[in-house]
């Protein structure tokens, strides 16, 4: 998820539309096709028309009435004998009442008695949606862009329980998104993205279960923050980093001072340790050989091994 800034609502909307258009263009060549269904319907129509035309030709009565009869028979057969792809289920009504769920494969409908109410795709669907100007808990309007993964597991409920189930799913997702955004502050919005995804999935699953739909996951892709909050967020982040740096520096200085106190106590208890420290300082100052070390005469006692060893 990106955490960006916006200049205007129009720019944000145009950017989202362009991104979705590019995504759809990239995915279109890989989508499955229903061309075989239309070819089968055309073949049934052609078979019915050819049968009437052939009989009329043999009887010597080929004319306009025969052609009209051939078209009517072909259309009737094409409407009665149908085929559904593997991923599709067909809801069939008989005299306005639910009759059955047909498919996949070959199925038949009684003419003038049954009709197909809906073709339901049972593959995993991906739907992009957004919640524009959604208010956070601290009343900051943000634009949130997300993707919803869902599928229909009960074609009967999807057809009979809701008028337009794709639209109902998207509207429910937008409402749930606004409710979830309204429960967190702007500063916590990016950090709690995964939690928001899980909360949206749970809410959407409970709501869409009665429609025969399963929500597999919800993923927040983009959060667009108003431009006027850029300076405030930047200053807040800089102040937070400066506070952390000062805290770390104070802790380091405290540790160093405690070490100095411990070293002073050691030097006070054992003068030899102080003499060894003086020797080390003299060595550090003279080891480069680029200068002259001036030291008090008392410092030479530190180089007297006899005095150091107590001899």
What does the alpha-carbon distance between residue 212 and residue 159 come to, in Å, rounded to a whole number? 9
Rounded alpha-carbon distances, angstroms, from residue 63 to 56, 59, 66: 8, 11, 5
Which one has a higher pLDDT value, 94 or 136?
A: 94
Of 181, 206, 230, which residue is a domain's last?
230
Q: How many other CB atoms sit within 10 Å of the CB of residue 182?
A: 12
Question: What pLDDT score does 187 carry?
Answer: 73
CB-based burial, 145-178: b 16+ in 10 Å, e otherwise? bbebebebebbebbbeebeebeebbbebbbebbe
Rounded alpha-carbon distances, angstroms, from residue 105 to 9, 41, 87, 98, 157: 48, 13, 10, 20, 21
Average pLDDT over residues 64-88: 87
Is the pLDDT score of 37 beyond 60? Answer: yes
Is the pLDDT score of 282 beyond 80? Answer: no
Condensed to tens digits (0 to 9), the pLDDT of residues 151-182 reads 999 999 999 988 889 999 999 888 888 888 88
Residue 239 maps to a domain: no
Residue 122: its H or E element: none
What does the alpha-carbon distance between residue 147 and residue 21 come to, in Å, rounded to a whole number? 14
Q: Are residues 127 and 226 in the same domain?
A: yes
User: Which segment of 6-20, 21-35, 197-211, 249-263 scores lowest on mean pLDDT?
Assistant: 6-20
Domain housing 279: 270-311
Is the pLDDT score of 15 beyond 60? Answer: no
Torsion sign across C-alpha atoms 254, 256, 261, 262: positive
Respond yes or no on whether the N-terminal peptide bond of residue 104 is cis (omega within 30° of 0): yes
Is the pLDDT score of 271 beyond 90? Answer: no
Is the pLDDT score of 2 beyond 50? Answer: no
Q: Within a 13 Å sphere around the CA of 17, how many CA atoms are in the beta-carbon half?
A: 6
User: Which segment of 8-12, 25-29, 87-91 scores lowest on mean pLDDT?
Assistant: 25-29
- 0.85 surpassed by pTM: no
Q: How confident is the model at residue 4 (pLDDT cuts 50, 70, 90)?
A: very low
Block residue for tokens 């995804």: 197
Residue 253 maps to a domain: no
Q: Are residues 110 and 151 in the same domain?
A: no
Q: Are residues 23 and 140 in the same domain?
A: yes
Structurally, the chain folds into a number of domains equal to 3
């Amino acid at each position: 998820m990106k955490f960006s800034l916006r200049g205007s609502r129009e720019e944000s909307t145009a950017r989202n539309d362009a991104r979705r258009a590019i995504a759809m263009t990239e995915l279109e060549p890989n989508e499955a096709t229903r061309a075989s269904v239309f070819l089968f319907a055309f073949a049934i129509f052609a078979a019915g028309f050819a049968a009437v035309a052939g009989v009329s030709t043999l009887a010597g009565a080929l004319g306009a009435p025969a052609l009209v009869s051939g078209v009517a028979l072909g259309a009737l057969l094409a409407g009665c004998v149908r085929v559904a792809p593997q991923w599709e289920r067909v809801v069939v009504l008989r005299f306005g009442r639910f009759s059955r769920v047909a498919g996949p494969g070959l199925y038949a409908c009684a003419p003038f008695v049954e009709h197909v109410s809906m073709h339901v795709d049972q593959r995993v669907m991906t739907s992009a949606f957004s919640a524009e100007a959604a208010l956070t808990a601290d009343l900051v309007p943000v634009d949130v862009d997300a993707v919803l993964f869902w599928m229909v597991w009960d074609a009967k409920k999807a057809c009979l329980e809701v008028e337009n189930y794709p639209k109902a799913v998207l509207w429910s997702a937008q409402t749930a998104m606004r409710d979830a955004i309204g429960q967190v502050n702007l500063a916590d919005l990016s950090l709690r993205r995964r939690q928001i995804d899980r909360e949206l999935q749970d809410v959407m699953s409970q709501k869409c279960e009665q429609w025969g739909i399963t929500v597999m996951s919800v993923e927040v892709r983009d959060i667009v923050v108003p431009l006027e909050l850029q300076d405030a967020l930047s200053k807040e982040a800089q102040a937070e980093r400066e506070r952390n740096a000062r805290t770390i520096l104070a802790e380091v200085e405290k540790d160093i001072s405690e070490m100095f106190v411990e070293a002073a106590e050691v030097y006070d208890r054992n003068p030899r340790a102080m003499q060894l420290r003086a020797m080390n300082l003299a060595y550090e100052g003279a080891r480069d050989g680029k200068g002259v070390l001036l030291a008090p005469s008392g410092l030479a006692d530190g180089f007297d091994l006899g005095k150091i060893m107590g001899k």
